[in-house]
Chain A
C-alpha cells in the first residue's frame, strides 16, 4: 500500500466520520418560550448554531444558551442562532445574563463519593442511508428498535461480521431514531430526513 493510497483512505475515513458523526451539528440553545405563530419550532426544542428562525412581525422567542449564561428574547424579525448569541435582522433583541452554575469546590472528603447514578446517552451516529451495513466482531443477533417504541423491533442474525440491511431487512424509516443492540452493547442511530436507499459503502457502515 503506497503512502498516497493511505492518505486517500484516511481522507475517506474522516469524511465518513463527518457524515456519520453527530458532532457536526452541535446544539446551541434551548427554546424556553415561543409564540404560537412561529412555525417549525416548539417550546423546549433545542436549536443548533446556524439555525434561522423567522419570527414574522409579531413572533416572539426566548432562548437560553447552552454554553453561555445568557438568555435572549427576540421580538419579530429573522434570527440566526449562534453559539453564544443570536444575530437578528429586522427585529428587537434583548439579552440578559442569567446565573451561571456556581463553581463548587467541595473538600476532599466530600468529593470521593456521591450517592447517585449518572446515565449517559449511548453512542450516537446519524446516517444518510436507509439500508445501513452493520459490522459486528463476531456472529450474533442484532436488534433494531425505534426509540419511540411505536414500531416492531427488527431482529437480524449475522452469520459473519456484516449485516447488510439491503439483503436481510426492511429499510429504516426516514427521520427516525433507532436503538441498535448487539451483545449487550447499544448504539443510537438517527436516520436523517435526507437519507437515501443507496450510498457509498463507507457511508453505510455502522460499527460495533
Chain B
C-alpha cells in the first residue's frame, strides 16, 4: 500500500467531481442509465427468469400478424379495408366482456367516399364500445400535422376516447419509457397506456406533483426525463398474442365461450405484430424471445406452418408489446422507479472517489481487481434492487469507478511513480530488485537490521587474474572486466540470484534472498556452470565456490551508512571452496550442504577437506557433464582407499584413471602421503589456501 500525498488527494477529488458531473449531464446520463438498465434487465432474466406467465395475464394483444395477411378473407387486402372485420371484432370483444379495447393501429382514411356504407358497421361497433368507456383509439403526434383516426371514427367513438400512442425515445434510439401525460391545450392528456390502465382500474389519472401521476391509491413515479419507465420482462414476456385471423374466424363461428375465456375482464390491445413494420429496440433487447412464443391457444385455425423461426431471436419487439407492457406495469403497480438525481449523483461521486483512492494507494493490479470485485457486488445489488422495482445507476457507477481508477493509476504512474522509478533504476545498480521493491513499498525508510535466512552463496574469482593484469593494458583490462561482469551478472540474475558485491575480480552472489527461488542451491549451481562455461569466450577462466547454509542478511553497517549484504560462515566457506579449485584443477566446487540440496545435477565427490579457519571437515563436490559409471565408481573406490589411509592403493587407482585431471591431482597427493604418511589421518585433506 502506498502513501498518498496532498497533490494526489486533490487530484482524486477533482476527477471524482469531474466524472460525477459529466455523468450527471442529461444527455450522457440518459444514455448511460438506459444501457445500464438494459444490462440489468438481461442479468435479472438470467438470474430469476420471467416474472409473468401468460395464463394469468390481464393484458392481451390481438395481433394483426403475418398470418392475418395470408389468410382468407383478408389475404392481400389493405388493412384499411379490414374495417368490417375489425368492427365485428370490437362487437365480439364487448360481448365477451373485455374491460377495455385499445387500438394500437390508426386508420386515418376511409373509402366510404367511394363505397358508401363500407365503414358503417365498424363505426357502429366503435360507437357502442366508446359509449361505455371501453374503447380507446390511438393517435400519433409527431410532426406538425398529427396522424389521427379518420374524423368519423372520432365522432363515433367519442373524442374523449382517443389517446396518443407516442413513446419516449432515449438518445441512443432505444424505447424505455412511455409518456404518462402529454402536454396539450388547455390541459395535459393521458397517454395511451395510462388511459387504458385508468379505464381498467376505473379511476381517472391525476397529476401528483412534478411528473408523477396518481392512479387510484397508487402513485406512479415518473422517470427523471419524464414518462413511465417500463419494467420489461425477459423472454416471452407474459403478454399473450391472439392472431387476428383466428379471432375473426372465431367471431364468425360464434365461439362465445372461447372469446369470453380469452378476453373477459381483460385489456385487449389491437396491434400489428409483423415481421418488419413497427418493431422497436427496447430495454428488452438482450432478452427477447423468438416470435410466436407468446401465441395463445387457438380458437379455430391451426397456425400456418413455417411462419416463425424458432432459432431466430430478434432484438426488436412490436410496438403493441411496448404499450401492453406499460399498461401491465400500471395496473399491477410494478413500474420501475429511479433513485433521485441527488442520490444518483452521490452514488457516482462516491464510486469515483473510492476507485480513485484505490488506484492511488494500491498497485495497479490490486486496484483493478478491487474495483472489479466491488462493481460485481454492486451489479448484484442492482439486480436485487431491480427486483424491488428500483433502478440503481449501475452503468454510470461502473463507468465512473473504472475511469477514475484508470486515471488515478495513470496519474500515479506519470507523476508520483516517476520519482520512484528513477530511484529504483538508480539503486538497481547497487541492490537486488526485490530489495529495492521492498524498500520503495515500505511505509518507512530503511533501518539497520537483518534476518537469518537459508541461502546459497556463490563466490567466483578469475583464475590467474594478477598475472593477466600485469600483462594487459589497464584500459583494455577494465573493458574486458566490465564485459565479464556484465555476462556474469546477467547469468546470476537470470537464475534469481543477486550480486552482493564485487571484490576486485571476485563476485559474491546470493541465491534465495531477499526473496528468491526456493531451489536456491540448484539455481546457484546452474548459474555456476553457466558462468564457468561462458568465461573462455571472455578470455578468462573462472573459479567458483558454492555453499548453502544460514546467513545473516539485511542492512548491516553504521547508522549513517550501511549495506544490504550477507555475512556468516556460509559466505566464508564459499570463498574457501573457490580457492580450493586451484588445488584440485576444478572450476566449480560445491559443499556437502549444497550437494544435499540438489537432486537433478550430476556431481562427483572430490574429497573431504579441512579449510583454513574451520575445524570441521567439508566434503566437496564438483558438477560433471557426463556420467561414466565405471570411471566414477573407480574414482569413488580410490577416494575410499585414500580416506582409509591406504594411500599407495589409492594412488594406483587414481593413476589408473587416465585423462582425469582431478584424479591426477589426487594420485600425486596420495603418492606423496604414501611416501610420508601423516602422523594422524582422519580422511580430511587440510587446505592451506584461503
Contact = CB atoms under 8 A, between A and B. Distances in A.
A38 to B, nearest CB: 15
B79 interface: yes
Contacts of A101: 139, 146, 148, 154, 159, 162
Given A44-B119, A109-B225, A115-B167, A121 B111 contact: yes
Contacts of A96: none
Contact of B152 (A46, A99, A102): A46
B140 A114 contact: yes
A112 B626 CA distance: 85
A106 B183 contact: yes
Nearest to A103: B185
A44 B157 CA distance: 11
B319 A114 contact: yes
B151 interface: yes
Given A46-B112, A109-B226, 7 more contacts: A66-B152, A67-B151, A99-B160, A114-B142, A116-B165, A122-B80, A177-B111
Interface string A38-52: 000011111010000
Interface string B181-221: 01111110100000000000000000000000000000000
Contacts of B159: 98-101
21 contacts: A27-B113, A30-B152, A45-B120, A46-B152, A98-B155, A102-B186, A106-B179, A107-B183, A109-B169, A110-B166, A113-B169, A113-B175, A114-B142, A115-B319, A116-B104, A116-B165, A117-B271, A117-B274, A177-B114, A188-B78, A190-B114
Interface string B63-80: 010000000010011111
B226 A107 contact: yes
A85 interface: no
A41 to B, nearest CB: 10
B164 interface: yes
A106 B182 contact: yes
Nearest to A108: B169
A119 B78 contact: yes
Given A112-B142, A115-B104, A106 B166 contact: yes
A4 interface: no
B140 A116 contact: yes
A179 interface: yes
Contacts of A104: 141, 146, 164, 182-184, 189
Contact of A119 (B107, B114, B175): B107
Range, interface on chain B: 35 or more
Contacts of B579: none
Nearest to A192: B114
A112 to B, nearest CB: 5
Nearest to A184: B76
A115 B323 contact: yes
Contacts of B109: 120-121
A148 to B, nearest CB: 8
A157 to B, nearest CB: 18
A177 B165 contact: no
A64 interface: yes
A82 to B, nearest CB: 16
A188 B111 contact: yes
Range, interface on chain A: 35 or more
A114 B165 contact: yes
A105 B320 CA distance: 23
**Pairs of residues from A and B, 3 with the lowest C-beta to C-beta distance, nearest first:** A115-B319, A190-B114, A64-B155
Interface in A159-204: 177, 179, 181, 186, 188, 190
A118 interface: yes
Interface in B265-294: 271-272, 274, 277-278, 280
A118 B108 contact: yes
A47 B86 CA distance: 22
B115 A117 contact: no
A112 B148 contact: no
B108 A120 contact: yes
A113 B170 CA distance: 10
A116 B319 contact: yes
B106 interface: yes
Contacts of A113: 166-169, 175, 280
Nearest to B193: A115
B138 interface: yes
Interface string A43-80: 11110100000000000000010110000000000000
A124 B332 CA distance: 46
A25 interface: yes
B183 to A, nearest CB: 5
A26, A67, A120, A179, most chain B CB atoms within 10 A: A120
B83 to A, nearest CB: 10
B152 A121 contact: no
Contacts of B305: none
A128 interface: no
Contact of B169 (A27, A43, A112): A112
A116 B116 contact: no
B73 A149 contact: yes
A138 to B, nearest CB: 20
A111 interface: yes
A98 B155 CA distance: 9
A196 B121 CA distance: 30
A39 B166 CA distance: 43
A119 B141 contact: no
A166 to B, nearest CB: 22
A147 interface: yes
B104, B139, B167, most chain A CB atoms within 10 A: B167
Interface string A113-146: 1111111111011100000000000000000010
Contacts of A100: 159
Contacts of B225: 109
A43 B124 contact: yes
Contacts of A42: 117, 120
Contacts of B272: 116-117
A56 to B, nearest CB: 22
A43, A67, A117, most chain B CB atoms within 10 A: A117
B105 A116 contact: yes
Interface in B444-489: none
Contacts of B226: 107, 109-110
B105 A117 contact: yes
A153 to B, nearest CB: 10
A147 B115 contact: yes
A122 B78 contact: yes
Contacts of B189: 102, 104
Nearest to B74: A149
Given A44-B119, A106-B183, A110-B179, A116 B106 contact: yes
A22, A102, A103, A124, most chain B CB atoms within 10 A: A102
Contact of B80 (A66, A106, A119, A145): A119
A118 B151 contact: no
B322 interface: yes
B236 interface: no
B123 interface: yes
Interface string B422-439: 000000000000000000
Contact of B114 (A44, A105, A188): A188
